[in-house]
Amino acid sequence: MRVPRVYLDLPLSEGARIELDENAFNHCVKVLRLAEGAPLVLFNGDGLEYPAELCDVAKKRASAQIGAPLDPGRESPLTIQVGQAISRGERMDYAIQKSSELGISRIQPLFTERCEVRLNNQRQEKRQRHWQQVAISACEQSQRGRVPVIEEPCALGEWIGQVDAELKLVMHHHTAQPLASIEPPKSVALLIGPEGGLTEEEVEQAIAAGFQPVAFGPRVMRTETAPVAAAAILQYLWGDLG
């Protein structure tokens, strides 16, 4: 069996013995039924992996003894952040999960003109926590050492006005500009519209803020498919999938 990878939102250091949180305890002891002495790999998003051994297993708690950290070298040299129009239910989960697996570093959920999802403050905080857990689970599975940050949802205009990247792209199928003609960047900000797409006014607003319109092929993709396809292409061209 593959050694389980477990995320802990705690400082980790060689030689430390730490108590597992509730999620980690349930996963390791109740779901996987690991016994004392079982090997683990811990990570906290700092880019390193911490080999560990399960210890002090009790009915409602367990600890881990941490070994020397390792750099797994699985992070891309290309930093990609995505402004993703919020979609309903599993569509948003899918976009975040697969984008995390493909090495995206930050995801900004966006409210746009055609966005059908409306969240009050309480629901917004709940969804953000849920989306962050989706990203964490994707990193556990894909063996990433860094966890993408899922930002608090905001309006489209707010994000495009402050996002910082060498290259800013807005997915827009009415353009023929090839990616191969663009100088390779170290960082990319990618704007993805909702079902029904961005309005022409929103596209023009993005262009005015420094975004370049780009199409990833001749077909129109769903909002949850677009960031996955785009991330794969960008990582192939300028990241670590080539």
| 75, 37 Cβ separation under 8 angstroms | no
The neighbouring-strand residues paired with 65 are 17, 53
Query: How would you classify the pairing of strands 50-55 and 79-85?
Result: unpaired
pLDDT 10s per residue in the chain (242 long)? 689 999 999 999 999 999 999 999 999 999 999 999 999 999 999 999 999 999 999 989 999 999 999 999 999 999 999 999 998 879 999 999 999 999 999 999 999 998 877 777 778 789 999 999 999 999 999 999 999 999 999 999 999 999 999 999 998 876 667 777 788 999 999 999 998 899 999 999 999 999 999 888 888 899 999 999 999 999 999 999 97
Q: Could you give the CA distance from residue 206 to residue 213 in angstroms, rounded to a whole number?
A: 9
Closest CA to 66 of 27, 28, 40: 40
Task: For residue 45, give both structure tokens.
Answer: 């998003």
Q: How far is CA 192 from CA 92, 114, 203, 207, in A?
A: 12, 12, 10, 13
Taking the C-alpha atoms of residue 109 and residue 35, their distance in angstroms, rounded to an integer, is 40
